[in-house]
Amino acid sequence: MTVETERETGTTRARVRKLARARVEDFARVEAFASRGETTPLERAPRLSETLDCGAEIWIKRDDVYGTLTGGNKTRKLEFLMAEALEEGATMVVTQGATQSNHARQTAAACAKLGLKCHILLEDRTGRRDENYTRNGNVLLDDLFGATREYRPGDRGLNMNEEMEIVAKAYRARGERVYTIVGGGSCPTGALGYVRAAYEILDQAREMDLDIDHLVHATGSAGTQAGLAVGLHSVDADVNLLGFGVRAPRDVQESNVHDLALRTCAKLGCTPIDRSKIVADSNYVGEGYGIPSTSTVDAIRLFAETEGVLLDPVYSGKAAAGLIDYCLTGTFKPGEKIVFLHTGGATSLHGYLDAFA
Ligand SMILES: Cc1ncc(COP(=O)(O)O)c(C=O)c1O
């Protein structure tokens, strides 16, 4: 390649990167949940790094404090989803999740803020009947935000998005204009929230002179990882993205994320992302979704005691257990910079008193 063509290719790449970043801002977004330009802190975790003593430097991206809807990753997705709901003239939002769903709680708060009705289908994935789990934590907040709810058993293999559409149809027949949000807000519109977050992280890292080796987080309904993967891919960022699964086995989780990432690429108008860019490790799921393992509880205690940061027993606690194990087993190497994306969820701690007895 001549110097001239090399320079031209470089300029073209820079232009493509700029275009991708501009395109995400073209989609309607509710700004009332976080003032325009708000960025969540990207904090060094010195006491945690020192305690793990593996030579890697750990940072925490604090999306647990994103926005005004009690915090968490779903708020970034809801900025785009609720804008679509408003554009469609919705009077009501119907969504679904597990009993202690953080997504449902943030959706209920978003609806309260925007003056829309909210109805939630909660799936009983753990079989727990104690009052703490069924009424405290996120469920208490769903009620306080004025959402109505109904339940579905978790042991019948129901397709919860289909169940939700049946319920939405009944509300439509009663005159409501219903906007439905799939579980976790994990559709291309919702994933745009994490495309934006990827750009935010890259900008912050550049300003702080932080060369990120690994960006790690919990992955469930796939929207967070799909959005991050597309964001990083669209600007050619050299960061290893790793999702720690909380429910599905590795191959299922990776293909769910890849499928959504491809649909998000199409929405954003960027080139399709390669399957090899999607990596999920489901070794820290333990007994199952919503059941914290000893390593989950230990991770929650460690983050709380060393950094004053509260994780949750379903998502971020399991991802943190993975991060800790990677440090202790030498998978993360001395000198590497690891960013742990804290996706929130601490509200559900109040539904898990027994786990910490
Ligand atoms: C606290 C928390 N972290 C991580 C996730 C996983 O994000 P996603 O569903 O986008 O994969 C969720 C999803 O509900 C969550 O509530």
Instruction: Give DSSP secondary structure letters for 240-304.
Output: EEEEEESSS-HHHHHHHHHHHHHHHHHHHT-PPPPGGG--EE-TT-TTBTTB--HHHHHHHHHHH
**Beta carbons within 8 Å of 126's beta carbon, 6+ residues apart:** 98, 99, 133, 154, 288, 289, 290, 291
Calculate mean pLDDT across residues 258-276. Answer: 97
Look up residue 141 and give its amino acid: L
What's the pLDDT tens digit per position in 134-165? 999 999 999 999 999 999 999 899 999 999 99
CA 101 to ligand 1 center in whole angstroms: 9
Q: Which atom of ligand 1 is nearest to the CA of 217?
A: 4
Residue 316 near ligand 1, beta carbon < 6 Å: yes
Whole-number pLDDT of residue 21: 86
Contact present, 210 and 59 (Cβ < 8 Å): yes
With bands split at pLDDT 50, 70 and 90, how would you rate the model's confidence at 36? low
Residue 75 near ligand 1, beta carbon < 6 Å: no
Nearest to 71 by CA among 103, 100, 98: 103
Whole-number pLDDT of residue 11: 74
Q: In what order do the strands lie in the sheet with 42-44?
A: 42-44, 57-62, 337-342, 214-219, 240-245, 280-281
Backbone angles phi, psi at 36, to 5 degrees: -55, 135
Alpha helices in the chain (DSSP H): 3-24, 46-52, 73-87, 102-114, 131-135, 138-144, 160-173, 188-207, 223-234, 250-268, 294-307, 316-328
Residue 290 near ligand 1, beta carbon < 6 Å: no
Nearest to 187 by CA among 69, 47, 328, 27: 27
**Beta carbons within 8 Å of 152's beta carbon, 6+ residues apart:** 121, 122, 123, 124, 158, 160, 163
Q: What is the pTM of this model?
A: 0.96
With bands split at pLDDT 50, 70 and 90, how would you rate the model's confidence at 124? very high
Active site residue 186: no
CA 102 to ligand 1 center in whole angstroms: 8
CA 53 to ligand 1 center in whole angstroms: 28
Residue 106 near ligand 1, beta carbon < 6 Å: no
